[in-house]
Structure 1
Amino acid sequence: MSSPKTIRWGILATGAIAVTFTKDLLVDPKTRGVAHVKHAVVAAASSSSKSRAEQFLKDCGCPADAQAYGSYDELVKDPNIDIVYVATPHSHHYQNAMLCLEAGKNVLCEKAFTVNAAQAKALADKAKEKDLFLMEAVWTRYFPLSIYVRDVITSGRIGPVARVLADNSMASNPEATWSDGKHRMVNPDLAGGALLDLGIYSLTWVFQTLYHTQPENARKPPAVLAVMKSYDATKAADETTTIVLSFPRSAEAGGDAHAVATTSLRVATAPGGNGDTPGIRIQGPKGEIQVFPPAFRPTRTKLILSDGTIEDKSWLQPGPGKGSGWYNGFAGGKNSEGEGHGMFWEADEAATALVEGRKEGKYEGLAESILIMEVMDEVRKQGGLHYPEKIETTQFPVQL
């Protein structure tokens, strides 16, 4: 057996999502049955100071020889980096990812990919021009749970999918939680609102079950009808958004399929954290697949068939295990001891693509990422939601 290929990562930004990703990244891939690649963090950068990057590397347990940088420009010039993980707010993704691509670096960029489809297209064009790997970090798509759901669909067990209902909402009490209006969830300068941060997961479940499971040559963009409720405190972010989609399909494939994708900052998918309420329901004439919240990190599915068959499955995230003294989580939350968060699956895919010479992800290519951005553009158009020009522009570089 050949030795695993080590992929050397640079981490661009040092916020909460970067911490979670990096701690997951450093877990031995063998704990999740991956033997062909492994990961090394060789550098991290903070836009505020080198000392913050140094503290980040220490907090995440990175090797002592990992480099700390006080600017993103310095990071992308590091010759030891194979790929950069972009972990800034989505308002900054275009500028940050373009910086990496222009410097000749492969990129895994957090979701939502960009603020609009024009930016996503520009990044894809630049990656093609430079012959670089580029992937949107929609981590949920790479979970074994998601692969199982897609396999059930393509196997025909529930028949052709006729309807998908997908929600990702949190009763966050935004006026109290983010009272100054500066948080990325509500700040228009950071492309705030429910749609791009939470609604991307609702659309992820719709697209990976209704669109991605179709033969590639048969996939067609959906018709979109949407309504938005504005967040009154800023009047420049969406509080609640509801999207109805109709996916064209041939009569042989089951005819047109419908989806409803919803998201909100005001109400919750599962009030009180009740995990018994499915947030996603994928329905066909022979049954349905239920996925239980949270939509971004689900750990339970239930297949219910019309013949009475029920398959209730739990999908716990692997990791170092109990007794390891190792913990991960997100933004103050903590998983069980030794349990990974699940961000390593997308890292494994990015690393595998580099080893294989692929330039995009296996379970969501760039064309699909762009299409989802086009859908969100149309949703914002129908809802009258516009962000400041400085974060909507495709000009580069722009100081944010």
Structure 2
Amino acid sequence: MSSPKTVRWGILATGGIASTFTKDLLCDPTTRGVKHLKHTVVAAASSSSESRAKEFLKEVGAPSDAKAYGSYDAFVKNPDIDIVYIATPHSHHYQNAMLCLEASKNVLCEKAFTVNAAQARKLAEVAKSKKLFLMEAVWTRYFPLSVYVREQITSGRIGPITRVISDNSMALDPEKSFPDGKHRMVNPDLAGGALLDLGIYALTWVFQTMYHTQPEDSRQPPKLQAFVKNYEPTGQADEQSTMILQFPRSQEQGGDAHAVATTSLRVATAPGGNMNQPFVRIQGPKGEIQVFGHAFRPLSTKIIDQGGKVESKDFPIPGPGKGSGWYNGFGGSLQSEGEGHGMFWEADEAADAIINGRKEGRYLGLDESILIMEVMDEVRKQGGLKYPEKIETLDYPTQL
């Protein structure tokens, strides 16, 4: 057997999601059955200081020779970086990704990909012109659970998908949680609001089940009706958004299909952390697929056939295991000892693409990322939600 190939990562930004991703990234791939590749971190950059980047590298357990930078411009010039993971707020993705692409770096960019579809199209155009890999980091798509759900759909197990109902909401009590209005969840300057941060996951489940499972040569963009409730304390950020989508399909494919995707900062999908209700229901004439956990980190499924028979399946997330002393998590909470957060699967996909010369992700290509950004553009248009021009612009470089 040939030795695993090592992909060298640079981490751009040093916040919470960067820490979670990098800890997962450095978890031995064989613990999840991946034997043909390995990951290492060769550099990290903080916009605040080089010392913060050094602290980050130490916190995540990066190799001792990894380089720390207090400047993104200097960071992207590092010749040892094979791919950059971008973990800045949505508002900065376009500028940061363009910096990396212009420096001929492959890119895995956090969701939401950009602030608008025009920015996403421009990044895709530059990546293709430079023959670089570019992928939106919608980690949920790469979970074995998500792969399984899509397989159940394409096998025809519940018949042609007729309806999907999907929610990703959190009762964040925004006035108390973010009293100064500067937090990324509510700050318009950071493309704040429920839609781009939480709603992207509700849409992810709609698209990966109802759109991605259709033949590429015949699937069509959905029609959309949207409603947006503004978050009054900061003005242009949505507190709650509701999307009704109609996906055109031929009669042979079951005819038009409907979906409802909802998101909120005010109420929760699972009040009090009660996870015994599905956040997504995927319905067809032969039954229903329900998914449990969080929309971003699904853990189990139930398939209920038309006679009422229930098949339950758990999808535990691997890692070094109990007794390892290793922990990961996000937002102040940790998973059980030795249990990964689940971000390593998207990293594996990106690394596999680098090794094999692919320029896009298999489960979320650039065209689909752009289409989802177009849907969110239309949600904002129908809801009268605009962000500052400096974060909507295609001009590069723009100082933010």
When the two structures are superposed, what TM-score results if normalisation uses the length of structure 2? Answer: 0.99
Shift of 1:300: 1.2
Distance 1:51 1:212 in 2: 43
What runs of 5+ residues in structure 2 fail to find an aligned partner? none
Deviates more, 1:308-317 or 1:368-377: 308-317
Equivalent-residue separation in structure 1 for 2:94 and 2:234 (angstroms): 24
CA distance, structure 1, for counterparts of residue 17 and residue 57 of structure 2: 14
Q: How big is the shift at 1:125? A: 0.2
DSSP 3-state at the match of 1:24: helix
Query: 1:256 & 1:27 partners in 2: Cα distance?
Result: 43
Structure 1 position 308, deviation (Å): 3.5
Encode CA deviations 1:109-154: one digit per residue, 9 max, x unaligned. Answer: 0000000000000000000111100000000000000000000000
Partner of 2:238: 238
CA offsets 1:270-290 (integer angstroms, 9 cap, x no match) = 100111111100000000000
Whether the 8 Å contact between 1:206 and 1:259 is mirrored in structure 2 is yes
The CA deviation at 1:382 is: 0.1
- 2:289 maps to what in 1? 289
Aligned amino acid, residue 149 of structure 1? V
Determine the C-alpha separation between the residues in 2 that align with 1:253 and 1:331.
42
- Could you say which residue in structure 1 is the equivalent of 2:35? 35
Which secondary structure state, in structure 1, belongs to the residue aligned with residue 94 of structure 2? helix
What whole-Å deviation, never above 9, does each CA across 1:187-246 have from its counterpart, x for those lacking one? 000000000000000000000000000011011000000000000111210001000000
Moved more, 6-15 or 305-314: 305-314
CA contact (8 A) 1:269 1:293 kept: no
List aligned pairs for 1:1-400, cutoff 5 A: 1-400=1-400
| SS of the residue 1:299 aligns to | strand
For structure 1, the residue ranges without an aligned partner over 5 or more in a row are: none
- Counterpart of 1:213, as a letter, is T
Q: CA RMSD in A?
A: 0.5
CA–CA distance in 2 between the matches of 1:307 and 1:245?
Answer: 28
Please state whether the residue corresponding to 2:189 is helix, strand or coil. Answer: helix
- In structure 1, distance between residues paired with 2:264 and 2:7: 38
CA contact (8 A) 1:322 1:338 kept: yes
Which whole-Å deviations, capped at 9, do the CAs of 1:17-75 have from their partners, x for residues lacking one?
00000000000000000001110000000011000000000000001000000011111
Moved over 2 A (4+): none
Distance in 2, matches of 1:313 and 1:351, equals 29
**Structure 2 CA distance for aligned equivalents of residues 108 and 164 of structure 1:** 28
1: CA distance between counterparts of 2:274 and 2:305? 24
Deviation at 1:311, TM superposition (A): 1.3
* Contact 1:270 1:293 survives alignment (8 Å): no
Distance apart, 1:78 and its partner CA: 0.2
Deviations 1:311-337 (A, max 9, x none): 111111100000000000002110000
CA distance in 2, matches of 1:344, 1:91: 24
Overall identity of the aligned pairs, in %: 75
Aligned residues: 400
